Amino acid sequence: MRLILAALALAVAPVVAPGALAQGHDASSCVAMDARLPDGFADWNGGAAVGTAKAPAEATTLQLGKGYEAGLLKRDDVAFIVEPEKPGGSVSYSGVFAFDVAEAGDYRIALGSAAWLDVIADGKALEPASFGHGPACTTIRKIVVYSLKPGQHQLQVAGNGAETVKLLVAKQP
């Protein structure tokens, strides 16, 4: 079986090297990463430490515009408020946080990985207004935009490959 896969790799390698067919942003063409961050993301690399709670009621409240290095726990050690659409495997990492919205509007949530993200209000996961990759030549992997009403919201991260993830919540300018 492994011989077959090795043969496949060899068959492909002479023509196209791994990674040669880049999609999205090719970081190798960037002079510097995070040299130009979007408005509201100046503190993206702030790296403030915050740990996930095991239960939503104990979730730490994040400050808007503050860049976090968020500590996560193994998936089954976190009590999700709602089951994520893509919860990740048992070996992946998850977290539950909170943030306050004072003024209705669009809010951007940026992650440094492709982990699944849910924003929850009144116990229900909200539909994002839009989502996409982070800007080119930044370490922002994805940005999800939600139209939010005033009040406290929970933020679930699921299916992260590492124990920490860069995280920032910012109001849309």
Contact set with other proteins (CB under 8 A):
1-2, 4-5, 7-9, 11-16, 18-24, 26, 75, 83, 86-92, 114-115, 159-162
Residue 76 Cα distances to 83, 110, 136, 166, angstroms = 12, 24, 34, 21
Closest separation in Å from C-beta 114 to other proteins: 7
Q: What share of the chain is helix, strand, coil (3-state, %, to 5)?
A: 10, 40, 50
Nearer to other proteins, 125 or 148 (CB): 125
Supply the minimum distance, in Å, between the C-beta of residue 17 and other proteins.
Answer: 9
Nearer to other proteins, 42 or 55 (CB): 55
In the bound state with other proteins, the residue whose beta carbon lies nearer, of 15 and 102, is 15
**Least distance from C-beta 6 to other proteins, angstroms?**
8
Q: Please tell me the distance from the alpha carbon of residue 116 to that of residue 85, in angstroms, as a whole number.
A: 8
We find the least distance from the C-beta atom of residue 11 to other proteins, in angstroms, to be 5
Choose among 62, 60, 93: nearest CA to 75: 93
Which phi and psi (to 5°) does residue 39 adopt? -55, 135
Instruction: Copy the structure tokens of residue 111.
Output: 């992650």
Report, in Å, the least distance between residue 15 CB and other proteins.
5
Nearer to other proteins, 18 or 173 (CB): 18
Question: Which residue lies nearer to other proteins by CB, 26 or 100?
Answer: 26
The span from the CA of 95 to the CA of 103, in Å, is: 25
Q: Which residue, 92 or 154, has its beta carbon nearer to other proteins?
A: 92
CA distance 43 to 45: 5
Q: State the minimum distance, in angstroms, from the CB of residue 166 to other proteins.
A: 14
CA atoms within 13 A on the CB side of 121: 14
